[in-house]
Amino acid sequence: MDNMTFEEAKKKLEEIVARIKNENCTLDEALKLYEEGVKLARFCDEKLSIFKTRLSEIVDSAGELDDEQ
């Protein structure tokens, strides 16, 4: 999963949700899919958190540049 992009993980998560909703999964299959979905959701959340932090750093840095002019 580490080599997966945010977009790939999100798409896979959406596919898992659709499968659980639309297919007649056994309880064991649904549990396995749910577990994978939780991992993907955490991965996406971590990627978004990193993105937000980096974006905030860029905006702060840009603000400091504006102050210098």
| Residue 14 in tokens | 């959406």
Angle, helix 27-68 to helix 6-22, in steps of 10 degrees: 150
Q: What is the pLDDT of residue 42?
A: 97
Does residue 1 contact residue 9 with C-beta atoms inside 8 Å? yes
Residue 1 domain flag: no
Residue 55 domain flag: yes
Q: What is the pLDDT of residue 36?
A: 97
Q: What is the pLDDT of residue 43?
A: 97
CA distance 49 to 43: 10
Number of domains in the chain: 1
Residue 50 domain flag: yes
Q: What is the pLDDT of residue 65?
A: 60
Q: What is the pLDDT of residue 2?
A: 76
Report, as ranges of residue numbers, the positions in the chain whose pLDDT lies below 50. none
Q: Could you list the residue range(s) of the whole structural domain that residue 22 is in?
A: 6-68
Residue 51 domain flag: yes
Residue 58 domain flag: yes
Residue 35 domain flag: yes
Does residue 53 contact residue 11 with C-beta atoms inside 8 Å? no
